[in-house]
Amino acid sequence: MRRQPGLASVFLTAIMGLALSFFMLTKIDPDKGIPERDRLTSASGLVTSHETVHHDVHFTLQDGRRFTYLGKAKAVGAVEKAIGEAHQRVVTILYDASNTVGPVFSKEKFFPVYEIRVGDELVRSHQDVDQAWRRDNRLAPVLGWGFLGMSVLLLAHGARRLRQRGA
């Protein structure tokens, strides 16, 4: 016979689920996209290095600035291929100069890219990236309600086991 998880772990899991659902339902705006095009800065240059890390494409332009195309914007494969095959073609991007992102517990910082062009080829438009971000953000309320429902069920299960113990 399998041992059931202890009451403490049931309640702890339920509390973590409630916290996660609270965050998803109150802090993530499902209609929020990316910064407006007129708030973004343009940069152009040759790519001196690039790598794909956890669904993000990091690259450096010849002036030393570091950028990232975030996986949340979708079409990472197309961007990775275009950057990798850019060679001596100029890469032009739109990015948010007032914002940097980077891995947790790391000093590495990158400017997020919201449009990318290699030579004359538009790889990802601002509009495409904005639509991808909005689609991704719309998933948060669905997950939030799911976590809330599962947390309530876990709390009910824990309460029932507590009552059975006391009887």
Average pLDDT of span 72-85: 94
- Cβ atoms 77, 91 nearer than 8 A: no
pLDDT given at position 20: 92
The percentage of the chain sitting over the pLDDT mark of 90, rounded to a whole number, equals 66
Place of tokens 């080829």: 121
Residue whose C-alpha is closest to residue 113's, from 32, 35, 31: 35
Mean pLDDT of the chain: 91
Structure tokens at 58: 């990091």
Question: What average pLDDT does the segment 31-40 reach?
Answer: 89
Residue 136: the pLDDT is: 84
- Which pTM value belongs to this model? 0.77
Rounded mean pLDDT, 112-135? 95
The pLDDT assigned to 139 comes to: 86
Q: Dihedral sign, CA of 147, 149, 152, 156? A: negative
- CA-to-CA separations, 18 to 29, 139, 142, 162, in angstroms, rounded: 18, 17, 14, 20
